[in-house]
Structures are given as structure tokens and as C-alpha cells.
Amino acid sequence: MPARSLVAGLIFATTVAAQSYPGMITTTNLPAVGSAFDRAGNVYFTGDSDLGISSTPGAAQTGSGGGRCFFNLSGIRPCPDAVIGKFDSSGRQLWATLIGGATTDSGSTIFVDSSAAVYAAGNTGGSFPTSARAAITNSVTSKTWAAKVTADGRAFLYATYLPAIFGSVNSIAVDAYGNAHIGGVTTDNRAAIVKLSADGSLILYLKVFGGPGSGSAPRLAIDGAGNLIVASTTSSPDFPVTTGVVQSHLAGFANVALTKLDPAGNIVFSTFFGGSGSDGVSSLQIDSAGSLYISGETTSLDFPTTPGTFAPQALVPTWGDFPGGFLAKLAPDATRIEFSTYLFSSSYGGSQIALGTAGDIFLAGVSGPGLPVRTSAPLPCLSQSVSQVGANFLARFDQAGRMTDATFLNSTPAVTAVAANEDGSISVLAGAPLFFSWSPAPILDNVRFGGPGWNAPACMTGAIFNSASMIRSDLVAPGELVSLLGSGIGPVQAAIADLAKGAPTNLASVRVLFDGLPAPILYAQSTQVNTQIPFALAARHSINLITGEPLTNVTLEYAGKTFGPFSVALNPFDPALYRLQPNVSTQAAALNQDGTINGPTNPAPRGSVNSLWGTGFGPLRSNCTEGALNPSVPIELVPEATVTALGLILYAGSAPGLACGVEQINMQVPADANPGVFSVAPTITLTEAGVTILSGQTSNVAVIYIK
């Protein structure tokens, strides 16, 4: 197969369908990360006093525990105490209390029951102030604690150490009788659960799962009969499982483990759930019928999914290396999968689930370019601050596992909690980990997906994305093919330039300008515009090869509207490789030496030559014509530029007959390479007088197959 047939159209392959976007997001900045909501939309938080939050008058503990601790940067100062508190939905602090002794104490998980009593747990350095009838009043070995606080924060109903087997705690679930189930990880890295009586005076049971080093922090939920559902991650092949469940064996390096315990702590059922890679769980919910909802992250290309869902086949975002996340619903007895789907998300997967009153399933997580936002999305555009990690999103699924709504969110830190509100809106709390006072301030987004007839204003993400990787480019290269993303930035029906005739600088009324210099438009559509960085910018700015400065200002014009400007720095290169099926797999757009497409069923022989394609690989000996096709004669990169990879590079330069801006890399497969999957991520080096002055690797990884 000729290269032209393989690669032509790849620069248009990551387009997103045009939509109209109604909806609403209200954002509130909070002074601390929360992880629980009540029905009124109040937010509950725990952490430590280094958050900078003071106790309120009349709180259960208003003063420091009295310890003095050494801190590297600030010398000796009071040891931080754990803090527990409550905000209303507007971010107004209602109350806060300290809890701690003469050593370092911190809170890590929180729960609020139907009476607004608050349960918290965390870590301690010792000397923790326990209540008189605590289950464990004194300990010199325990590292964790639990407490229950009145609804107004004025009194501790109990405070106790937890068993010394715990190294950390991360989750709490409380049954109808006020018994607290607390999940965590043991000192030898196994998932564990302790159940406390309602008054905190008794340990009702303690359960540990799997072998040493095999577990992760569990997620907890309680059904209507008081049974506890435990979702964790395990790499233990001898994790206890029961008969008749959906998966009786460990299928990969690590799978989700789902276990149901009766009120006495006996196993009702236990099952693995996952594929041949590594799977983890982030969130667990249970509905009134006892059905189980789990979400998390996966690297498995064979994760168990069901047909008819949002994504029954693996999705590997162009900007990622793995499928990312999953959402699944299992029967109450874990004997069947009701639905299971991949998510279009980053490696963080689906972070949190909330269940709506109408059977809706709301899921928040981290995603990036290509997320299929729906017509109801209140925020269809990525934030300008989007990084390679991505941005937060919220999606709604129906009971068949089909996505019905999706939107980006204003916040960029990882999501910590989601709640379905009585008025039909969704509250999403995002924030960095609790214990780092330098972390970005958390954000509370209240989201309502819109209805017909409301049209969101057009928007554009203030960033440039490499067209091969769809990763944000902070340094762009003259000649590189790039994408601009947004909503309403082009026509609903895509317009595609005929490169054989030359791409115009005005396509379907879309123009892109770099410092006022029009660029060729290769593709124009409502959500994505593909263009080429003008070569003239290099001469105009005399690029400093070391810093990549100065900046160039970018604007987009469409239908009488101007988007931008925003600034991006110039660099000699910003390389990335094209994949054969963007947003499906990491398989490279590559040809074997005999001209056939490289793939798992057609691998390249060791020692043979493999051809790959990319963009942004640096200056050529002579420039091609922007917006047109490369000459039929190959043009190498400038002598100062060298491309290296795990295989010997025989050629690096223009891709003859393909779009100007597409480069070709011919690599000899190492003769001693192991058969199987071979990751390719070339490095570009610029030298001057034999001295390396600039070096960088492709922003993405693509794979070829070797026999």
C-alpha cells in the first residue's frame, strides 16, 4: 500500500462532531478541599490546620494540641492538628473544629449521615485525644484515628484510635444504625475494613483482604440491608472469591476486587473484575435496588464491556497511551454485568460517580481533546489552562451505559466528590490532595445540563494542539501542522482544503492569523480548525534555538467574530507521530519495508526498514509550500538536526507527496529486537559546532509490531 493512501487524511482524523451547547455552570472557590455533600448542598471537609482554616468559636476543639514540630523550611513551630469543617454551597464557612494532640495529626476522609452528624478519620503521630469510652483509648503503635462530630461541630461524640494494622485510611460508610465502616490500607499494603459501633466504643469486626503488597485503598457503600460493599484493587491471585460471580480469577497484573460483607463481616460474595492489564477503582455507588456502580482506570485493552454502551471497544485517546477509564454496573449479587463501557478519559479514569433520582448516572473525571461533548454542554471548550494531563469533565449516562450528556468543567485539579442535587443539578468538587498547603485552591462547580433552545456562546480554547498527538504545544515549530479547538469556530459541515490545489488562507469564512500573518486552512469545522504554522515566523522573529522565544500571537476569525488573541512560543521543533487510528489505539501509521501496513497481524521483520510519519520534526533543507503537498523528491532535515530512536534512523525529512508539514522517518528495526510490540518515540537534537544546543522527544508514543 502506498504511503499516500495510509497517511492522507490523518491530519483530519481527530475531528469532533459539531453541536450546539446550552447549559449552566456556577463556580465557587473554597478555602479547603471537601469530599462529602449533604442533601442541602453543604460541603464537608477534613485535612490539617496547615490549610490555614481556623476553628470557629464554640467548636469541639478550638486550640492547638500543643505539640512542637520541626519543619524543614520554617524551623520549630506548632504541630498541625486535624481539622473538620463545613461550608455552605456559596463557600461560606459554617463551622470548623480542630482535633489532635501533641504530634502531627491530619484528616483524610469524611462522611455525613442523614442527621448531619459528621464522621472523619485520618492519620496521627501519636498522643491523639480519645474519648473516655473509645474502642482504643491508648496506643503507641496506631497511626490512624476516627471521630464522630455533632451536626454543629460543637462536640465530639467519640474519638478513637484505629487498629495498628492500618497505615492509612481513605473511606467511610455509615449504616442506618450509625455504625461506621472505615476502609484503608494496612502497613503491608493490603485493603482492610474496620467496623465501629455507633458510639465508637466497640470494634465490631476487622477484615483484611489479599496477600501482602497486593491491595489498594478501598471504596465503600452500604445497601438497604446494612451489607457493606467493598471495591478495591488487588494483584493477589488468591484473593477470596465466591462461586457464580462475574470473574473468578485474576486476569491481569491488577484487577478490581468487589466484595460484599454482611453486618457481621461474613463474605456474601466476592469477585474479580478487569482485563489483562492493570485496573483500579476510584468510585463506588449502590442504588435502591442494590445494583453496584463502579468507575476507575484501566490499561486493559480487553476490559470486560457490554455491547450497545458508549464505548464497548477500547478507546486510547490520541494524547494518551492507555484506554484511560471505565464505568460499569453489576447486578446486586455480582453474578452478571448489567453494562460496562470504556470512557474517553486520561489515566485518572472516572474519578467519581453520583446517582440521580431519575436513574441517571453522573460521572466526573479527567479528559482532553476529543471528549464527545453533547448539545447540552454548558462548557464545550477546554479551559485555556488545559495541560497534557487534561481537564475535568462531567458526563451523564443512562441505565444502558450510553452517554447522554457531557461537558468540560471550569476546574483542572482532580475531582474529589460529586453529588446529585434535589433540583436536578450536579455539584462537582475538584481539588488537589488535602495535605499540601501549596496546592491550588479547590473549586465547587454546580452544573445544570441545558435543554433545547438555549445556545451557548461560541468559544475557543486558548492553546495550540499538535495535530498528530492532540497534545497542547507550548512551543510550536514553523511548518508544524496544528489544531485549534472550540465551539462555533467554523461551519457545522466540515470544509476540507484540496492540498493538490493549495489550501487557502480563508476556508469557509475561517481565517487563522499569527501576528497578523494569514496561515493556510486545511480543515475547518465548528469544533476544530487545522492549520499550519507559517515558515515566515522563523525569519520574522529570528528564533533563539535555546529558549524558543519570542512569542507569536494567535487569532481565529469566523463569521464576523474574532477568537483570541493568545500567545504561544516558537521553537525549532515540536515533534509527534501520527497513529493509524487516532483515539482508538497507539498503533503507529507505519509501513513495512514491503509497503504493507505494519500491525499485530503483519509485523516487521527484525533488521527491516519501517517508515513512520509525523509533524513538527524541525527545519528542512528547503521549505515546502505551505498548505500544499510536499515535492515528490525527499528533502532532509537541516544538517544541524539529528533524529535518533531505538532503531537506526536512515532518513528523516519531508514525506514526498503528502501534505507540507508531514515528515517521514525511516527506521531500521534492531536485529536483536524482541518480537512483539515496539514503542517508538524519536528524539530530535540540534547541534552547533558539534555541541548540542537543543534536544527534545516526540510528545507522544506510537507502537509498531515486530516478528
Residues 515-523: contacts with CB within 8 Å, 24+ apart? 515/540, 515/552, 515/553, 519/626, 520/626, 520/627, 521/497, 521/627, 522/11, 522/12, 522/481, 522/496, 522/497, 522/627, 522/659, 523/11, 523/12, 523/15, 523/494, 523/495, 523/496, 523/497
Looking at residue 429, its pLDDT comes to: 84
Segment 423-452 shows an average pLDDT of: 71
| Encoded amino acid at 297, one letter | E
Given a cut of 50, whether residue 436 has pLDDT beyond it is no
d(CA 163, CA 103): 18
Which tops the pLDDT comparison, 701 or 338?
Answer: 338
Burial class (CB in 10 A: 0-12, 13-18, 19+), 21: buried
The mean-pLDDT minimum among 439-443, 498-502, 570-574, 625-629 falls in 439-443
DSSP-derived secondary structure for 339-359: EEEEEE--TT-EEEEEE-TTS
Name the one residue in this structure whose C-alpha cell is 533563539: 544
**Which helix H or strand E contains 116, and what residues bound it?**
none
**Which helix H or strand E contains 540, and what residues bound it?**
helix 536-541
Name the one residue in this structure whose C-alpha cell is 528523516: 652
d(CA 190, CA 233): 9
d(CA 403, CA 313): 15
Residues 272-304 as b/e (b if ≥16 CB within 10 A, e otherwise) read: bbbbebbbbbbbbbbbeeebbbbbbbbbbbebb
Beta strands of 113-201 (E only): which ranges?
118-124, 144-149, 156-161, 166-174, 180-186, 191-196
Segment 462-489 shows an average pLDDT of: 93
Given a cut of 90, whether residue 205 has pLDDT beyond it is yes
Instruction: Give the confidence band of 547 by pLDDT, cuts at 50, 70, 90.
Output: low
Given a cut of 80, whether residue 655 has pLDDT beyond it is yes
Looking at residue 69, its pLDDT comes to: 85
**Which helix H or strand E contains 648, and what residues bound it?**
strand 648-654
For the chain, how far is it from start to end, CA to CA, in angstroms? 20
Q: Who contacts 266 (Cβ-Cβ below 8 Å, separation ≥6)?
A: none
The mean-pLDDT minimum among 70-79, 171-180, 329-338, 548-557 falls in 70-79
- Measured in whole angstroms, the distance separating CA 226 from the mean position of its chain's CA atoms is 33
Looking at residue 414, its pLDDT comes to: 78
pLDDT in tens, 250-291: 999 999 999 999 999 999 999 999 999 999 999 999 999 999
d(CA 586, CA 338): 29
Residue 541, classed as helix, strand or coil, is: helix
The mean-pLDDT minimum among 51-60, 305-314, 421-430 falls in 421-430
Segment 292-321 shows an average pLDDT of: 95
Name the one residue in this structure whose C-alpha cell is 486476569: 251
**pTM for this entry:** 0.91
Burial class (CB in 10 A: 0-12, 13-18, 19+), 556: buried
User: Which three cell numbers, joined as nine digits, stand for 170?
Assistant: 481513605
DSSP-derived secondary structure for 659-670: BTTEEEEEEEPP
| Encoded amino acid at 213, one letter | G
Question: Which phi-psi region, left, alpha or beta, contains residue 559 (left: φ > 0; alpha: ψ -120 to 50)?
Answer: left
User: Which three cell numbers, joined as nine digits, stand for 566?
Assistant: 493568545
Which tops the pLDDT comparison, 375 or 676?
Answer: 676
Q: Which residues pair with 555 in a beta bridge?
A: 513
d(CA 427, CA 407): 13
Closest by Cα among 680, 498, 450, 426 to 576: 680
Residue 12, classed as helix, strand or coil, is: helix
Sign of the CA dihedral running 408, 412, 415, 418: negative
- Measured in whole angstroms, the distance separating CA 336 from the mean position of its chain's CA atoms is 28
Looking at residue 210, its pLDDT comes to: 82
User: Domain segments of the chain: what residues?
Assistant: 7-17+459-570, 575-706
Given a cut of 50, whether residue 320 has pLDDT beyond it is yes
Given a cut of 50, whether residue 52 has pLDDT beyond it is yes
DSSP-derived secondary structure for 407-472: EE-S--SPEEEEEE-TTS-EEEEE-S-TT-TTSPPPEEEEEEE--TT--PPPEE-SS-EETTT--B
User: Which three cell numbers, joined as nine digits, stand for 62?
Assistant: 478550638
| Encoded amino acid at 693, one letter | I
Q: Who contacts 366 (Cβ-Cβ below 8 Å, separation ≥6)?
A: 345, 346, 348, 349, 351, 389, 390, 391, 392, 393, 414, 415
Given a cut of 60, whether residue 545 has pLDDT beyond it is no
Looking at residue 470, its pLDDT comes to: 93
Angstrom distances, CA of residue 520 to CA of 298, 479, 489, 523, 628: 39, 11, 16, 9, 9
Given a cut of 70, whether residue 441 has pLDDT beyond it is no
SS (H, E, C) 557-611: EECCEEEEEEEEEECCCCCEECECCCCCCCEECEECCCCCECECCECECCCCEEE
CATH topology of domain 7-17+459-570: Immunoglobulin-like (2.60.40)
Given a cut of 70, whether residue 73 has pLDDT beyond it is no
Given a cut of 90, whether residue 529 has pLDDT beyond it is yes
Q: Who contacts 70 (Cβ-Cβ below 8 Å, separation ≥6)?
A: 76
Name the one residue in this structure whose C-alpha cell is 515486530: 706
User: Which three cell numbers, joined as nine digits, stand for 350?
Assistant: 472516572
Farthest-apart Cα atoms in the chain, separation = 86
DSSP-derived secondary structure for 34-77: EEEE-TT--EEEEEEGGG-PPPPTT-S--S----EEEETTTEEE
Given a cut of 50, whether residue 18 has pLDDT beyond it is no
Name the one residue in this structure whose C-alpha cell is 464527545: 372
User: Which three cell numbers, joined as nine digits, stand for 286?
Assistant: 449502590
The mean-pLDDT minimum among 264-273, 424-433, 476-485 falls in 424-433
pLDDT in tens, 600-646: 999 999 999 999 999 999 899 999 999 999 999 999 999 988 999 88
d(CA 624, CA 655): 10
Angstrom distances, CA of residue 70 to CA of 108, 123, 309, 439: 22, 18, 54, 21
pLDDT in tens, 345-369: 887 777 899 999 889 999 998 898 8
* Residue 291 main-chain phi, psi, to 5 deg: -65, 150
Sheet containing 691-697: order of strands: 641-644, 683-688, 691-697
User: Which three cell numbers, joined as nine digits, stand for 406?
Assistant: 457531557
Given a cut of 70, whether residue 305 has pLDDT beyond it is yes
